[in-house]
């Protein structure tokens, strides 16, 4: 092979290797981002579960909605739910 042909092949080989390394780096970054997103989502779900299971939740029978539902008129219910707009 002559000099220009060899240098062209070397240049093509180097660019293909660089592209392969770039794709591997991109794949690794995407995987790490996905893992971080899953970790964040898991932490969010744990916080939500904690808030839902708190003891400060009212007894449904004594809530203001139940009072409006049982003792209120239809007009009160429409006003409370803002369906009158």
25-59: pLDDT as tens digits: 999 999 999 999 999 999 988 887 776 666 666 67
CA dihedral 45, 48, 54, 57 (to 10 degrees): -140
Provide Rg for the chain, Cα atoms.
32
Question: Same domain, yes or no, for 26 and 62?
Answer: no
Q: Residue 68 is encoded by which pair of tokens?
A: 């409006």
Query: Domains in the chain: how many in total?
Result: 2
pLDDT digits (tens, 9 = 90+) for 6-20: 888 999 999 999 999
CA distance linking residue 42 with residue 44, whole number of Å: 5
Question: Which pTM was predicted?
Answer: 0.47
Shared-domain flag, residues 49 and 84: no
Are the C-beta atoms of 71 and 83 separated by less than 8 Å? no
Same domain, 40 and 70: no
| Residues 43-53 as b or e (16 or more Cβ within 10 Å = b) | eeeeeeeeeee
Instruction: Tell whether 46 and 68 lie within a shared domain.
Output: no
Task: Work out the number of other CB atoms within 10 angstroms of the CB of residue 66.
Answer: 13
């Amino acid at each position: 092979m002559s000099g220009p042909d060899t240098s062209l092949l070397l240049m093509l080989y180097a660019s293909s290797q660089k592209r392969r390394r770039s794709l591997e780096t991109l794949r690794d970054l995407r995987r790490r981002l996905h893992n971080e997103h899953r970790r964040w989502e898991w932490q969010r779900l744990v916080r939500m579960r904690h808030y839902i299971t708190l003891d400060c939740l009212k007894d449904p029978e004594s809530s203001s909605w139940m009072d409006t539902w049982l003792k209120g008129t239809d007009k009160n219910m429409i006003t409370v739910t803002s369906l009158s707009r």
